[in-house]
Chain A
Amino acid sequence: MKMNKTTTKLLQTIPVLILLAVPVVVTNNYVLNVLIMAGIWTLLASSLNIMIGLVGQLSMGHAAFYGIGAYISGLLSVRLGIPIWLGMPAAGLATTFLGYLIGKLTFRVRGSAFVLVTLGLGEVMRLVTNNWMSLTNGPLGLQGISPVKLFGVNFTYKHYYYFILLLVLLVSYIIWRIKNSRFGRAFIAMNENEPLANAVAIHSERFLVLAFMISTCIAGIAGSFYAHYVTFISPDLFLLSNTVTIVVMVIVGGKGTVLGPIVGAIIFTLLPEWLRAIDNYRMLIYGLILMFSILFMKRGIVPSFARIIKKKRGALHEYS
Chain B
Amino acid sequence: MTVFFQYLVNGIVIGGTYSLIGMGMTLIFGIMRIVNFAHGEFYMLGAYFLYTLWAILGLNPVLSMLFTFVLILFLGIGFEQLFLRPLRKESSTSSMLMTIGFSIVLQNAALLIWGGATQTVPTLVDLKTFSIGDVVFSTDRILVFLISLTIIIFTSLFIGRTKTGRSMRATFQDMEAAEVVGVNIERVYSITFGFGAALAAAGGFLLAPLFVISPTMGALATSKAFAVVTAGGLGNVRGAILGGLLLGVVESLGAGYIASGYKDAFGYLIIILVILFKPEGLMSRKRKKGVHA
- Residues of A in contact with B (beta carbons under 8 Å apart): 52, 56-58, 60, 105-106, 108-109, 111-113, 115-117, 119-121, 123-124, 127-128, 130-131, 240-241, 244, 247, 251, 280-281, 283-284, 286-288, 290-291, 294-295, 298
Do B259 and A240 touch across chains, with their CB atoms under 8 A apart? no
B98 partner, pick from A106, A281, A291, beta carbons under 8 A: A291
Tell me the bound Cα distance from A289 to B43 in angstroms: 23
B258 to chain A, nearest CB (A): 11
Residues of A within 8 A of B272 (CB): 117, 120-121, 124
Whether A283 contacts B275 in the complex (CB less than 8 A), given A58-B97, A112-B234, comes out as no
Closest residue of chain B to A290 (Cβ to Cβ) is B101
Residues of B within 8 A of A244 (CB): 100, 104
Do B112 and A281 touch across chains, with their CB atoms under 8 A apart? yes
Contact of B136 with A by CB under 8 A: no
A-B contact pairs, 24 of them (CB 8 A): A52-B93, A56-B91, A105-B276, A112-B35, A112-B234, A115-B96, A116-B35, A127-B262, A128-B265, A131-B262, A251-B97, A280-B111, A283-B107, A283-B108, A284-B112, A287-B108, A288-B101, A290-B100, A290-B101, A291-B98, A291-B101, A294-B94, A294-B101, A295-B86
- Residues of B in contact with A (beta carbons under 8 Å apart): 29, 35, 83, 86-87, 90-94, 96-98, 100-105, 107-109, 111-112, 219, 223, 226, 230, 234, 259, 261-262, 264-265, 268-269, 271-272, 275-276, 279
Residues of A within 8 A of B271 (CB): 116-117, 120
Chain A CB within 10 A, most for which of B86, B96, B103, B275: B275
Whether A56 contacts B264 in the complex (CB less than 8 A), given A113-B275, A295-B83, comes out as no
A192 to chain B, nearest CB (A): 10
Tell me the bound Cα distance from A164 to B205 in angstroms: 48
Do B230 and A290 touch across chains, with their CB atoms under 8 A apart? no
Tell me the bound Cα distance from A121 to B94 in angstroms: 22
Do A123 and B226 touch across chains, with their CB atoms under 8 A apart? no
Tell me the bound Cα distance from A131 to B97 in angstroms: 31
Chain A CB within 10 A, most for which of B101, B102, B112, B264: B101
Tell me the bound Cα distance from A57 to B97 in angstroms: 11
Do B279 and A127 touch across chains, with their CB atoms under 8 A apart? no
Tell me the bound Cα distance from A286 to B109 in angstroms: 12
B290 to chain A, nearest CB (A): 19
Tell me the bound Cα distance from A287 to B99 in angstroms: 10
Do B268 and A111 touch across chains, with their CB atoms under 8 A apart? no
Tell me the bound Cα distance from A280 to B112 in angstroms: 8
Tell me the bound Cα distance from A52 to B93 in angstroms: 9
Tell me the bound Cα distance from A108 to B280 in angstroms: 12
Do B275 and A291 touch across chains, with their CB atoms under 8 A apart? no
Closest residue of chain A to B99 (Cβ to Cβ) is A291
Do A287 and B102 touch across chains, with their CB atoms under 8 A apart? yes
Residues of A within 8 A of B259 (CB): 131
Closest residue of chain B to A132 (Cβ to Cβ) is B261
Tell me the bound Cα distance from A191 to B258 in angstroms: 42
Residues of A within 8 A of B275 (CB): 105-106, 109, 113, 116-117
B43 to chain A, nearest CB (A): 16
